Chain A
Amino acid sequence: MNKVSLLKNKLLILSLSLFLFGWYSYSQAQDEKNLPFPITLFKLKNGLQVILSEDSSLPLVSVVVAYNVGSMYEEPGKTGLAYLLENLMFQGSENVSRMQHYSIIHNAGGELNAATSADKTIFFQTVPSNQLARVLWLESDRMMSLEINDLNVQQVKDILIEEIHHRKATNPYLESYYRFDQFIYPDFFYSHPVIGNESDLINITVEDVKKFYSTFYKPNNAVLSIAGNINKKKAEEEIRKYFETIPEGQNFPPVTSPKLPERKPIIRTHKDPSVPSPGFHLGYRMASPSTDDFYPLRIIEYILLHGKTSRLYKRLIKRDRTASHLSGSIEIRKNLARLKIFVVCGNTTMMERSKRAIISEINRLKMSLISEKELQKSKNLFKMDYINQYATSGDKARFLAESFLSKKSLDHLANELKKYLAVTRGDIIGIMRKYFTHESITLNIIK
């Protein structure tokens, strides 16, 4: 064998081994255009999706790590696990002591927080931009080697049980919210509360927590989104240094497909002596957020429920004065969307009148075309809220991470706002008739 062929063979094996260890899964940075702000996307060899958005207007940087896991990934009897783990992520990891994460962010004048929902868990911090490497060090350490032991799991469980008690004591309608979710969502996975049930929380073991962490808290199940005053090249180097050697995860359990109920109205009454006044939750099953029907549905949400001049606020609070509280919005859990309205009234007569008024306003929107002026008003209110999703560097990093997790790309962002603003009066009437049907109603009366 001559030297050339030996070298050739070694190169062959080298390339083979590099391939095996993922070198070629390195993907080139890609700049997305036509967005209201610049972004760059790339993926690390372990599958971690990275989003960078440069903005030098203030010397700040926000780092968001969003994991594709939430309460809907919990098994029956283990509710509250996702939220428990969110809290545990601040209790230390192999190289970060218990209060160190908080101390580092705080001492720099920064802010941090986290949130768990049905389908995602998000960690975010905003710091002066010279602290970027430190935040990456912190986030990578807890992604790689979270400290999970009897003591810290018990401490977090105690805090969460106290939180459950506090929430129940301060919100007499809380149980009715949970009950309504059981009716409006198809099954346990979609409907149980993020904070969990107290009895489940008590029974969760350290092994359960370790298993949940080692299954879901993996780079290829996460998005790292950074917005603010960064040097893209340098930031990329630091990101690769801290995250690229974190082992990827395998065999993520798929989300259980929802068991969709047959299309018929669900009407329940729930007697609760602890509520100060009667009320009701009213909901409709909406189109999936990934469909084109969702654009008019979102605008309809604004026509009905947002602002003091929205149709339901004007009718129930200002004109008829049958309700003392009205709130509502479209809620998304993975691929399911629900319009949820909550009303509190002085007495049961007022409650009946409020229910009838809502149905009458919905019928009005189904029967007659909305004026161009009113539609434009609702679109403008929506536009303001849409823009405010990226008003600060922290908002922007979170907006990008959540958008990516929900659609697995950011391609849709270039035209998303335009599509909402292109909704016509005809779309509104058509979509109202399609989704606001009697069969789609879920009603839970509390008295």
Chain B
Amino acid sequence: MIQGAVWKSVRQNPLTLFGGFVVLMLFVVALGAPYFPVHDPYSIDADAVLEAPGLGHPFGTDELGRDVFSRVIYGARISLWVGFVSVGIAIVIGIFLGAVAGYYGGWMDGLIMRFVDVMLCFPTFFLILAVIAFLEPNIATIMAIIGLTGWMGVCRLVRAEFLSLKERDFVQSARALGVGNLRIIVHHILPNSLTPVMVAAILGIAGAILTESALSFLGIGVQPPTPSWGNILTSGKDNLQIAWWLSLFPGLAILVTVLSYNLLGEGLRDALDPRLRGSR
């Protein structure tokens, strides 16, 4: 019944459907990239350097004569990876710390929440920059560091859910039956607190993709020749005066992707939260 209501609310919101559709298409593009009839994103062509968009190269070519269209398509793979893995890391940390803080309370709660305060008041982008530059800049480092600096929101959400759920009857009765703490946390409370986490995760993917593109743009993210939307924009900046197409297309890809994840996430949040339903 609840599922039906959620689906109805989603179906009535064209923006959510649009977001969901684009996200689905991005999966198809990212996973199917090697099977598409596009140019090899790595093949260098000295005769086709910085060609404007045309029939052979719909998005033009870069300073090494590589096809920008296929580089943008392969860039979708990177953003998909970064989005999912870094948010996955953030969720695992956030759920663990949030569950411990909310369930046990007391000094552990105090300690964890103070830590969250410190992390929240960091100029996060500064910290990410500092860490990545001291490490080897590559995709694994990026995913780890975006995840490690992005778990605080999830932690607060899970803690709040645990605080209210642990007083509920079904938890109390499980405890009365002698069920252990770990089992109560994992089997009884956690499944009931995952809905807001899922919404936060979808919105978090959008944020992670933006951060990755900014880092790659600064040259400390995904390293060339691996194509990512951010590092194609770096060559766009280097060839600013000659090749507008290097700047335009990868940025559009970021915009559409981030927009779609946000639309999907916010639509789901409205659909899952009955208090908001119908209010917009």
Q: Do the two chains bind?
A: no
Using a CB–CB cutoff of 8 Å, the interface residues on chain A facing chain B are none
